[in-house]
Chains A and B, each alone.
Chain A
């Protein structure tokens, strides 16, 4: 039992060490030459534009259902006109970043792990190294830059369509005046909330993409290994999104408020 625990602990520490090393190599690769601009632009398109549909749909329906549910509760206190406050505060501070993060974990994290994993098991990563290319610079840096910088953009889009979804429900279902809804949306927001809503997705995007890259680059065991890597990447990055969100929220509350 003790041996099993010790070997599990060793494996976990090794995994953590390799993850940290990859992060360090990525940081170094992002600020030194060579930078593969073509790949960076391609990844911005794939991660940013490619995730737009799923983020739009998720954001819209989350905002709509939030208005629907809170409208009923607020009714009990005669506070239905304040539904806009609830929708905007929840979307911008918490649901927008986390749900966008979860969607990116499912779409981007899994895609990266599968792509890099396939390249690993077919020796394409070794071929890159043999051809004089550092796989971290060529494959990881563009993905990390795109994931880290596009996550806040996608989150802002999710927040916006979420608030619009909430507005539709508030106006057509809850019969709240449109002007009242928009006034309450803006009233509740402070600059600190906006910062929180922007800083969180930067961290979440970084974590999701680095986990996808790390898992992908450590894939072994043929096609079965690729499947395993994809599942592991989604599970690890989804859990990481929730956990990192908690710690960042705690930190930002201490720093900003």
Chain B
């Protein structure tokens, strides 16, 4: 069952595995006199994970908002899923957003809706899918993240970790090709944070969703980059350390003073002798 945008088969093929799903070309953005991003360029390949690190206020979340078109750059080009989004109108962006999912910091669940209504929001409100089919998809997604029994609860009745997981379920319910995570584990205890990490890994490896993870939680960043999910023959899902090839699919970007201070893989980041990176990693 595919709910995301109806793209032409040619474009679908062109944007298949190994092709760029997000491209930033010399993107700059300033709020009044404060430069947030300066000449940021990077390419993200479909099926891969991009982990954006940086201190608070370094512009990490801004990159996600630019991808979604919630903010516009002052200069530079942004391509998402083969479409240039930096010049699009709000109504045109709705089409691009149909293929994206975003997990906001703190979840940003709708207070007045139940867990089921939150998770199925996009399908209930923005598609013609029959209600019973939406309900089935909501149950399926909540089952995937292990919160099936919370389906009729209100967000206020959930713990912090459960709220983040419901936010992940909401973002994935319409089967987007790209998921954006904004500090999904900040403020969570290590055990709950690991549960959230597992959901991110499962979605990437079992549902083939490309992901961009913004965080300053190094433990979670490295965990997601160096682990993989597999479905065993008995149907159970196992999270295990990734082999070298799989680990290569996760790339790190470190932001500093509005620019990119580092771009590479987990092993390169650990081996870096740059004083700033060393301080950040220590």
Q: List residues of chain A with CB under 8 Å of any chain B CB.
A: 36, 118, 122-124, 126-127, 129-134, 138
Contacts and interface: CB of A to CB of B under 8 A. Distances in A.
Interface residues of B, number: 23
Contacts of B79: none
Given A122-B108, A123-B108, A130 B102 contact: yes
Interface of B: 65, 68, 70, 90-91, 94, 97-98, 100-102, 104-106, 108-111, 121-122, 125-126, 170
A123 B68 contact: no
Given A36-B125, A134-B90, A134-B94, A129 B108 contact: no
B165 to A, nearest CB: 15
B110 A126 contact: no
A122 B105 CA distance: 9
Contacts of A122: 106, 108
B108 A132 contact: no
Contact of A131 (B65, B90, B126): B126
29 contacts: A36-B125, A122-B106, A122-B108, A123-B105, A123-B108, A124-B108, A124-B109, A124-B110, A126-B65, A126-B70, A126-B104, A126-B108, A127-B108, A129-B68, A129-B70, A129-B90, A130-B70, A130-B101, A130-B102, A130-B104, A131-B122, A131-B125, A131-B126, A131-B170, A132-B122, A132-B126, A133-B126, A134-B91, A138-B125
Contacts of B68: 126, 129-130
A105 B68 CA distance: 35
A30 to B, nearest CB: 16
A162 B108 CA distance: 45
Contacts of B170: 131
A141 B108 CA distance: 22
A174 B170 CA distance: 65
Contact of B94 (A118, A126, A132): A132
